[in-house]
Structure 1
């Protein structure tokens, strides 16, 4: 059996934290903008830091594990 937890957590966080898809911090005109489908250098940096923090929390602190039997 293999552990699919890190794969699922990584994919879900990547989708949710893509800058401009659901939200963008910092936005171009406001601090938080929702669904504008645009990005900038500072927002890529902020979202990368958030992604790293959440992936560490879910994989190291909570230890999310998903096992699939074939």
Structure 2
């Protein structure tokens, strides 16, 4: 049985936290901008830290497991 939990959580978080797709923090003119499809170096760093924090919570603290097969 393969554990697909980490793969699914990582893919979903990667798509949702892509800078500029849903939101960008910090934005160009405001602190948070929604759906502007642009990015910056600072935004990439902030989103990477948020991604790391959430994936750590979901995989280590909560322990999400999805078994297939």
DSSP 3-state at the match of 2:3: coil
Aligned residues: 69
**Moved beyond 4 Å, runs of 4+:** none
TM-score by length of 2: 0.99
DSSP 3-state at the match of 1:46: helix
Aligned-residue offset at 1:49: 0.1
Task: Flag the structure with higher strand content.
Answer: 2
Confirm or deny that 1:14 pairs with 2:14.
yes
CA-based RMSD: 0.3
| C-alpha separation in 1, matches of 2:50 and 2:28 | 19
Aligned-residue offset at 1:59: 0.2
Extract unaligned runs of 5+ from structure 1.
none
Aligned-residue offset at 1:34: 0.2
Q: Deviations over 1:27-70 (max 9, x none)?
A: 0000000000000000000000000000000000000000011x
- Alignment match, 2:48: 48
- Alignment match, 2:4: 4
